[in-house]
Homo-oligomer: A and B are copies of this chain.
Amino acid sequence: MGIEDIREPTFLVLAALADGAKHGYAVIREVEAISDGRVTLRAGTLYAALGRLAGQGLVRQSGEEVVDGRLRRYYDLTDAGAEVLAAQAARLRQNAAEADRRLRARARLGTAPA
């Protein structure tokens, strides 16, 4: 339950911040783009995740700005956050590779042994 239990929405939040600081709403749009529209973060999910990740030292607030009378609160990845993201990405790749390997083994035997 430490830092290693990361679900897709939270993973995508880290990924969205990996290439530079963004404000919350921009993260929501970025996550939607990253995931080809599959994941639309709820505001509740986003701000809860940012708070949680900040508490874990993976994300940090990097300033505020007012644009067109609207407040923007920026966040970016810490080095620890980048490390966790890299480790998680490796894990996803490994899981996907293992699943594919087994699916190929299945295909070799003939599908659905009814």
Contacts and interface: CB of A to CB of B under 8 A. Distances in A.
Interface string A98-112: 111011011001011
Contacts of A82: 103, 106, 111
Contacts of A7: 7
B103 A8 contact: no
Instruction: Please state the number of chain copies in the assembly.
Output: 2
Say whether chain A's binding surface is mostly helix, strand, loop, or mixed: helix
A14 B86 CA distance: 24
Contacts of A16: 102
Interface of A: 4, 7-8, 11-12, 14-16, 18-20, 34-36, 38, 76-79, 82, 85-86, 88-96, 98-100, 102-103, 105-106, 109, 111-113
